[in-house]
Every structure is written in structure tokens, then in C-alpha cells.
Amino acid sequence: MRKIGLVLGVLLAVSLVSCDFILKDNKHKSERDKTVATDGGTTVIGDEDGYGCAYSAGYRYSYLLTDCVRVFEVGFRLNPIEDEGSQENDLENNEVSCFALFSKDGKEAEIFLPQQEKSIVLESDKTKTIYLKDGWQLNVEKGMVLKFKDEIKFTAAKTIDLQLINSDQAIEGEEELF
């Protein structure tokens, strides 16, 4: 009788442990499929593209750099044109901006359009100032202008020049403290 109780106890313990193990393994496996280690040492859970880049964390695959990059950290920002008559832009939003990267030899440029996972690699002309492919044209000679079928879509992000004030200069409109 004692042996039967011991055998039943062992079988019950094994079945409970194995069920718990199976349930935990499936849960962790689905999370593991979405986990991506970033260069900052943290873990981000989100969607990956075909190259393992976490798109939801801002990573995009660069064909020129053959790596996952955050284009807003390494690329040149091009903002959309608000209205057709204006070539001014002052947006700071990564979701509507286009970004451009250039190969070291200057023969290719890669553009990352907003809300699209895949980039487009453009090839330069002989002067290395105009890059072309599939109706896209990036002109870097005239302040970075990106056109699609001869219509301006993006221009270089507007820069703001700030005047630096040395510590010994009084700020305009403020009284001197000393």
C-alpha cells in the first residue's frame, strides 16, 4: 500500500511539473521570437523585418551599411514639402521625414521613406551630385532635394543658427548682475 501511494505521489508531481514546464516554454518561446538585442544593451520587444531589425524601435536595414541602423541617428534628414509653392520645412517628426545615407565612395545613396520598411538604393551620375532610380532623384548639389517623377517631395531639414553667448556677455534684455 505504501509503494502504491509513493508511486502515485511521484506520478502526480511529475505531471504537475511537466504541465508547468510546457506552458511556460510556449509563453517564453513566443516572447523570444519578438525579442531583439539593441546596441545599447537593452532588450526591445517588437516587430522584426526579414533582417532581424526592430522596425518598431526605429531600426531599419541599410543595404549600404549591411546592418540595422536608426536612420534618424546616422542619416541626413529630409522633410516633406508642406505645400507646392513653398520649399520651406521645419518639421522634427521622424514619422514623416525621409532620411538619406551615402556610400563611402559616393556612388550610391540610400533613401528611407517614411512608413516604409524597405529603403531604396539610388545610383549616382558621373558627377556624384545626382542619384537616380525608379523615378526618384536626389540632388545633393542644390541643398539636398528629393524628387519623385520631377515633383519635389522632400528637401533638406531646416537648420537654425543660434547665437552663442559667452559667459562674460550680458543677455540682451537682462540687467548685469555684477
For 112-150, the pLDDT digits (tens) are: 998 887 999 999 998 889 999 999 999 998 789 999 999
Q: How confident is the model at residue 74 (pLDDT cuts 50, 70, 90)?
A: very high
Q: Please, are residues 4 and 14 in contact by the beta-carbon 8 Å criterion?
A: no
pLDDT given at position 12:
65
The contacts of residue 124 (CB under 8 Å, 6+ apart) are 106, 107, 108, 109, 130, 131, 132
Residue 90 to residues 97, 107, 153, Cα–Cα distance (Å): 10, 29, 14
pLDDT at 90 over 70: no
Cα torsion 32, 35, 39, 40: sign: negative
Average pLDDT over residues 82-102: 66
The three cell numbers locating residue 85: 509653392
pLDDT given at position 112:
94
pLDDT at 13 over 90: no
Q: Higher model confidence: residue 160 or residue 98?
A: 98
The contacts of residue 75 (CB under 8 Å, 6+ apart) are 69, 99, 100, 101, 112
Q: Higher model confidence: residue 73 or residue 159?
A: 73
Q: Higher model confidence: residue 164 or residue 120?
A: 120
Angstrom distance (rounded) from CA 63 to CA 52: 13
pLDDT given at position 155:
92
Angstrom distance (rounded) from CA 47 to CA 54: 6
Q: What's the start-to-end Cα distance of the chain, in Å?
A: 97
pLDDT given at position 138:
95
Which tens digits make up the pLDDT trace of 50-69? Answer: 888 888 888 999 999 999 99
Q: How confident is the model at residue 36 (pLDDT cuts 50, 70, 90)?
A: very low
pLDDT at 81 over 50: yes
Average pLDDT over residues 136-165: 83
What number of CA atoms fall less than 13 Å from residue 19's CA on the CB side?
A: 6
